[in-house]
Structure 1
Amino acid sequence: MATETEDAHDEGHHLPAVEDWPRGFGEASWWPFVTAAGAGGIYVGVALFLMGFGDTNIVPVVYGQATLVGAVGLFLVGLYGWLYHAFVSHFWQRGTDEHSASKLQWGMIAFLGSEVATFSGGFVYFFFIRSGPSWPPGELPPLLGSLVLINTAILIASSVTLHLAHGAIRKNNRGRFIGLLGLTLLLGIVFIGGQVYEYYEFIAHEGFTLTTGIIGSAFYGLTGLHGLHVTMGAVLLGIVFVRSLLGQYSADRHVSVTTASMYWHFVDAVWILLVVVLYVGAEIGGGAV
């Protein structure tokens, strides 16, 4: 008689520690570690990229660029494998154990707790430079314009539509769920495009870049980190949207909708805090030119 581990290998998963993973949600895997390695590589790539600028040029800029590309690729591959084996594989053969679903939701809460620590480090850095003698920076362009206000309204609207979509699938209204989820994804993509356009305006027309003093590193570091998280959120919503088109959600089966919603609402809340602290806070007290 085949063992539980052998059965998992026969399914083609080839993942470790089968007996330690909550039943009904795939098997324990190495994918979270692959994803974490890719995320860590992104920070290393940014550091190498910054080390390539200035008079010292400690390392060639291309090292940072290559590391970033490889790290982002590794991160996306790990994220795909993690989501596929945890949620997608053998979807209809699973039960609807609320206890196991609760464990995954608490796992997302724990992950978001680590994200709070990550963003807090960036905010502490901004508060530190803002309280220093070099503030206000004379090179700072006007940050609080119509573009950021429109982008903020778009992201808030996406949280509303996602909340309504989540409520629709809880009521088994799949048509309304798919429509609102698709609208949420569209709004998220528009927001990302708006942030890219904002970067273009600042860099090409204002000369405000990542190397424009300490305020440049703070601004692009915080907004870039948030943009990366929104992009990852859009990938998650895209996967959920495709699965919704395949009919994989119902009032009893929507744990990945719940966890993706938790993540999306989190990045929306962080953006509002960024606007208040970074955009508004940077202009209060002068410094805009």
Structure 2
Amino acid sequence: MSVADDSTDDHGHHLPAVEDWPKGFGEASWWPFITAIGAAGFYIGAALYVLGRGESALVGPMVGPGVFIASTFAFLAGLYGWVYHAFVAAYWSNDGGGSTALRWGMIGFLGSEIATFGAGFAYYFFIRAGTQWSTAASAIPDGFLGSLVVVNTAILVVSSFTLHFAHVALRKGNRSRFLALLVSTLVLGVVFIGGQVYEYYEFIAHEGFTLSGGLFESAFFGLTGLHGLHVTMGAVLIGIIMVRGLRGQYSADRHTSVSTVSMYWHFVDIVWIFLVVVLYAGSVA
């Protein structure tokens, strides 16, 4: 049974873009393009916000925020359609384990993510070496917030291990251990997101460390916020495979989605290590 066959008749689920379009390329989806347009709109909105400030503003002060909000809706809509197409639809076909297309697709996606974060780091190093750096080197508060960063980093690293061993347990046929470690991974991921939100609250409410505070602040919130968005998306994907696992799916030879989500989660873990070294530890260098 094809994906198109079981997407509507048997389960009542609408699967977008199941037609053979463009012709000759098999099943294709336009949801990644919607997601990319929304993501690009974040940067456009931020640029328009900067251009709308000051006495010689080139655009109205609400143009940038308006574009950013519209881009948020486009990004979330595209992400919903993309996740549904790539993962939820496969729920009904019980996720074959021999497909390498999804793994290579994830590798290609992670390659684009490396380029995205690489551009962010390049921006940071550019302003770090510039003459406008001023007092940004002492902008990261010490003490309690420093301890929070250490704890949050440990949580994310541990979550990467729990997901890895969950995958190992599944491939060995130990479903109970797989599900227990998968739930642990999701809980750790949610705790990490909560820790980052609390850190933002402390920075903004008590330390006066805000997005508009200067060059370093904009780079800090831009990079850590982008990473937080990726962790949130990873937590959603882990939640999806957890529900599928609880419904009895996956086995030692049927675990493609688990493998690809694991690749993604390890990636965001590695990026966070770079962020801690460059932004937190590097800010006092």
TM-score category of the 2 structures, normalised to the smaller one:
0.7 to 0.9
- Pairing partner for 1:15 from 18, 28, 42: 18
Distance in 1 of aligned mates of 2:193 and 2:243: 20
Runs of 4+ in 1 over 6 A off after TM superposition: none
Instruction: Indicate whether 1:40 and 2:40 are aligned.
Output: yes
Distance in 2 of aligned mates of 1:84 and 1:217: 33
Distance in 2 of aligned mates of 1:15 and 1:268: 33
- Pairing partner for 1:137 from 123, 135, 138: 135
In structure 2, the CA distance between the partners of 1:180 and 1:69, relative to structure 1 (3 Å rule), is farther
Distance in 2 of aligned mates of 1:95 and 1:6: 15
In structure 2, the CA distance between the partners of 1:59 and 1:196, relative to structure 1 (3 Å rule), is farther
Alpha-carbon shift at residue 39 of structure 1 (Å):
2.1
Q: 2:48 touches 2:59 (CA, 8 Å); kept in 1?
A: yes
Q: 1:147 touches 1:198 (CA, 8 Å); kept in 2?
A: yes
TM-score by length of 2: 0.84
Q: Which moved more, 1:219-228 or 1:138-147?
A: 138-147
Q: Which moved more, 1:64-73 or 1:146-155?
A: 64-73
Gapped runs of 5+ residues in structure 1? Answer: 22-26, 285-289
Alignment of 1:273-284 (within 5 A): 273-284=274-285
Distance in 2 of aligned mates of 1:38 and 1:79: 9
Instruction: State the partner residue of 1:24.
Output: none
Distance in 2 of aligned mates of 1:241 and 1:57: 49
Instruction: Indicate whether 1:184 and 2:185 are aligned.
Output: yes
Q: 1:16 touches 1:30 (CA, 8 Å); kept in 2?
A: no
Alignment of 1:82-161 (within 5 A): 82-89=82-89, 91=91, 93=93, 96=96, 98=98, 101-137=99-135, 140-143=138-141, 145-161=146-162
Q: 1:233 touches 1:260 (CA, 8 Å); kept in 2?
A: yes
Distance in 1 of aligned mates of 2:8 and 2:151: 52
Q: Which moved more, 1:83-92 or 1:144-153?
A: 83-92
Partner-residue secondary structure (3-state), 1:20: coil
Instruction: Indicate whether 1:263 and 2:264 are aligned.
Output: yes
Distance in 1 of aligned mates of 2:8 and 2:232: 35
Alpha-carbon shift at residue 244 of structure 1 (Å):
1.7
Distance in 2 of aligned mates of 1:95 and 1:151: 33
Partner-residue secondary structure (3-state), 1:115: helix
Aligned residues: 274
Distance in 1 of aligned mates of 2:191 and 2:52: 32
Q: 1:137 touches 1:215 (CA, 8 Å); kept in 2?
A: no
Q: Note the alpha carbon deviations across 1:78-137, whole angstroms, 9 max, x for none.
A: 223223233332645468362xx2121111111111111111111111112222233342
In structure 2, the CA distance between the partners of 1:94 and 1:124, relative to structure 1 (3 Å rule), is same
Q: 1:139 touches 1:208 (CA, 8 Å); kept in 2?
A: no
Partner-residue secondary structure (3-state), 2:100: helix
Distance in 1 of aligned mates of 2:53 and 2:205: 18
Alpha-carbon shift at residue 51 of structure 1 (Å):
4.1
Alpha-carbon shift at residue 155 of structure 1 (Å):
0.6
Alpha-carbon shift at residue 57 of structure 1 (Å):
5.1
TM-score by length of 1: 0.83
Distance in 2 of aligned mates of 1:249 and 1:5: 18
Q: 1:130 touches 1:136 (CA, 8 Å); kept in 2?
A: no
Aligned residue type for 1:115: E
In structure 2, the CA distance between the partners of 1:162 and 1:51, relative to structure 1 (3 Å rule), is farther
In structure 2, the CA distance between the partners of 1:56 and 1:172, relative to structure 1 (3 Å rule), is farther
